[in-house]
Structure 1
Amino acid sequence: MIKKYKKLVLICCLFSICVVGLGAYTRLSDAGLGCPDWPGCYGFLSVPHHEIHAEVVAENFPGMVIETAKAWKEMIHRYFAGALGLFILCIAVWAAYINKRELTPLRLPIFLVLLVIFQATLGMLTVTMQLQPLIVMGHLLGGFAIFSLTGLLYLRLTAQSIPGGDAGARRFQGLCLISLWVLIIQIALGGWLAANYAAPHCADLPLCGPDSLVRFSFSDVFHLPLEHSNYEYGVLSADSRMSIHLLHRIWAVITSAVLLITLFQLWRNCYSRKIKDCALTVLIALGAQLSLGVLLIIWQFPLSIALAHNIMAAFLLLSVVRLCYYVKSRC
């Protein structure tokens, strides 16, 4: 029974990255308001397509035109997100059933159920509050959290302790956790950038133009627009969006430096092959993410590269979570 449970957790983890990717694709293709209501679409469980549906839409949503392609992107994302919620509920119920006999983690699956409920609430608010940036950023972080925590649950079920521990790596538990939080801040800044449609407002390298440092303002970065009825395509000024993008790049340099210092210290001081493999995985994911970020600017923000940049950020987060787990719990 425990083997089947482990397989279910692994499938759920893989399914969650699909949901993260679909969410990113929906956002990047400007389909976040493809359906103006929630959880259905114009009052239906799928995208309206019959003439009688059009009459109901015209009556209940006057003046709105159904953009079928955008609506289907949004609804497919919702279908997958709903299925993920059922997966996680099954995991929690199964964990409660076998917990006493198999000593499987129980609190983490229960927390995941609560997180899914919160994530669904954010999904509803994303639509009803017309893509309010703070809600959109929170929704993105929630998806990343579900992916990384299902990955952590699978690690807790399958990971084996390092024989004899690794005293060399154990000394850097704090540094690993700092690296994790620095990365989470960077992902949050990326979510804030995407929620405010700030990517095209910094199309140069390495800065956003010759006067970008002069135009940069922290107050513009953290300005929270609340007075608008619709936030699609962004409402902040060009300078504000440029500042958001520039801070994301600056923090990317800081994040890379912190991660590289952490990986160097672990590689130099630890002797466990497992820790070294975890560190190498983080290094590869970091290199891929930085390369995608540069290509995103050089090629002027193609959708495919932007989507890959989002998904790779999730894998980078999971790789750092995995590294922290082995250093803290298995050494």
Structure 2
Amino acid sequence: MYLTTKIYRYFKALVLIASVLALCVAVLGAYVRLTDAGLGCPDWPGCYGTLTVPQSEAAIASAQAGYPHSTVEVGKAWREMAHRYLAGILGLIVLAIFIFGWRAKAEIKCSPWTPTFLLVLITFQAMLGMWTVTMLLKPAIVSAHLLGGMSTLAILTWLAHRHWGHYSASIVKSGRLKFAIRFALLILFMQIFLGGWTSTNYAALACTDFPTCHGMWVPEMDFKDAFHMVRELGQSANGGGLTLASITAIQWAHRVGALITFIYLGLLVLNIMKYWQLKRLGITLFVVLCAQILLGISNLILHLPLVLAVAHNFTAGLLVIILVTLNSKISSSSR
């Protein structure tokens, strides 16, 4: 019995550590993408054929000879490899969570199939990371990689709250409000996809005025090419270059999505503030939501400064954590 209890304590500690690490990996991934370091290493999982970054003149010359179509940029390569190292550590921790979850399945406060699904997800996430490099930043792959990272963060947050937080199905008895809280996660993830699609298609500065776009509320837009999923970076469905109308459509859709998300979550906050058990969480949600909107507007007006762009991704991760915590808090303890 002592051995099982000890394993349970390991499991409980690891899900909390992994949750924090998953947020760090997501933010670092955004930093890598925003600094154009996603192809800092042209191969995977190493960098120019090694597990570190070539730095000496001889090593750089050798790497350049082995990969003549890539230019060795040490700074970008290190940023990419730092992200891979951190993601690798997270993967190992998730593997440990999976093993401990099954060994302590009688004690953990969730089904052992949840950490099993998490392991499958993070394995697929690693494959998406590989395809991101080998498919040269194809927008659909990069956006899926972002959603996979946020989904990993969501599941780890759920596991952490089940083992460290307080929850009860009796806090909210209204079925309609419970559904609204569940649906909020779908709204948020749809907006995260739109944000990722905007970033991966380099459409963040398609129009820089606000609240209008190119001086109009509804500018000229081409949604057909803008949201064609199976295409190369910067190309339309027929292989030509993306037009201004296409990238404008992407950014405009992200703006509309932000407005819908703000209204929906704002109304949700007003409803959950009626419950004293959820009041603090509701205030936190509203503060982070306002910060996210202000960061989005500031990124547009100030032409995407790196620190604000990374912060925009960080607050998106915080919104995932808050909404998952809210969903866990109103759920029963059934496995």
TM-score of the aligned structures, taking structure 2 as reference length: 0.90
Contact 2:53 2:77 in 1 (8 A): yes
Distance (whole Å) between structure 2 residues aligned to residue 253 and residue 161 of structure 1: 30
Per the alignment, residue 277 of structure 2 pairs with: 274
Consecutive unaligned residues of structure 1, counting only runs of 5 or more, are none
Deviation at residue 102 of structure 1 after TM alignment: 4.9
Helix, strand or coil at the partner of 2:105: helix
1:39 alignment partner, one of 42, 45, 49: 45
Q: Which moved more, 1:308-317 or 1:218-227?
A: 218-227
Q: Report how many residues are paired.
A: 325
Query: In the alignment, does 2:37 pair up with 1:65?
Result: no
Deviation at residue 64 of structure 1 after TM alignment: 3.0
1:261 alignment partner, one of 259, 267, 271: 267
Deviation at residue 169 of structure 1 after TM alignment: 5.0
Per the alignment, residue 317 of structure 2 pairs with: 314
2:231 alignment partner, one of 209, 212, 226: 226
Query: In the alignment, does 2:127 pair up with 1:121?
Result: yes
Per the alignment, residue 182 of structure 2 pairs with: 177
Deviation at residue 230 of structure 1 after TM alignment: 9.2
Deviations 1:46-71 (A, max 9, x none): 11123443343243212432011111
Helix, strand or coil at the partner of 1:329: coil
2:306 alignment partner, one of 277, 280, 303: 303
Deviation at residue 279 of structure 1 after TM alignment: 1.8
Over the matched positions of the two proteins, sequence identity in percent amounts to 39
Helix, strand or coil at the partner of 1:215: coil
Give the partner amino acid of 1:301.
Answer: L
Instruction: Tell me how large the CA RMSD over aligned residues is.
Output: 2.4
Per the alignment, residue 110 of structure 1 pairs with: 116
Q: Classify 1:102/1:22 alpha carbon distance in 2 versus 1 (closer, same or farther; 3 Å).
A: closer
Helix, strand or coil at the partner of 2:298: helix
Contact 2:154 2:321 in 1 (8 A): yes
Deviations 1:208-231 (A, max 9, x none): 222461302332431236256999
Deviation at residue 7 of structure 1 after TM alignment: 1.9
Contact 1:129 1:230 in 2 (8 A): no
Per the alignment, residue 146 of structure 1 pairs with: 152
Alignment of 1:189-204 (within 5 A): 189-204=194-209
Distance (whole Å) between structure 2 residues aligned to residue 89 and residue 235 of structure 1: 42
Distance (whole Å) between structure 2 residues aligned to residue 221 and residue 329 of structure 1: 42
Give the partner amino acid of 2:263.
Answer: A
Give the partner amino acid of 1:219.
Answer: K
Helix, strand or coil at the partner of 2:68: coil
TM-score of the aligned structures, taking structure 1 as reference length: 0.91
Deviations 1:10-37 (A, max 9, x none): 1111111111111000000000111111
Query: In the alignment, does 2:136 pair up with 1:96?
Result: no
Distance (whole Å) between structure 1 residues aligned to residue 40 and residue 176 of structure 2: 50
Helix, strand or coil at the partner of 1:71: helix
Deviation at residue 136 of structure 1 after TM alignment: 0.4
Per the alignment, residue 3 of structure 2 pairs with: none
1:242 alignment partner, one of 242, 248, 253: 248
Q: Classify 1:133/1:57 alpha carbon distance in 2 versus 1 (closer, same or farther; 3 Å).
A: same
Contact 2:184 2:265 in 1 (8 A): yes
Deviations 1:286-311 (A, max 9, x none): 11111111211222210000000001
Helix, strand or coil at the partner of 1:202: coil
Contact 1:198 1:244 in 2 (8 A): yes
Distance (whole Å) between structure 1 residues aligned to residue 28 and residue 88 of structure 2: 13
Helix, strand or coil at the partner of 2:218: helix
Distance (whole Å) between structure 2 residues aligned to residue 171 and residue 85 of structure 1: 37
Distance (whole Å) between structure 2 residues aligned to residue 200 and residue 56 of structure 1: 38
Helix, strand or coil at the partner of 2:106: helix
Distance (whole Å) between structure 2 residues aligned to residue 246 and residue 187 of structure 1: 14
Higher helix share: 1
Deviation at residue 195 of structure 1 after TM alignment: 0.7
Consecutive unaligned residues of structure 2, counting only runs of 5 or more, are 1-5
Per the alignment, residue 284 of structure 1 pairs with: 287
Per the alignment, residue 7 of structure 1 pairs with: 13
Distance (whole Å) between structure 1 residues aligned to residue 269 and residue 233 of structure 2: 44
Deviation at residue 146 of structure 1 after TM alignment: 1.0
Distance (whole Å) between structure 2 residues aligned to residue 320 and residue 103 of structure 1: 19
Deviation at residue 313 of structure 1 after TM alignment: 0.4
Helix, strand or coil at the partner of 2:205: helix
Per the alignment, residue 160 of structure 1 pairs with: 166
Contact 2:91 2:122 in 1 (8 A): yes
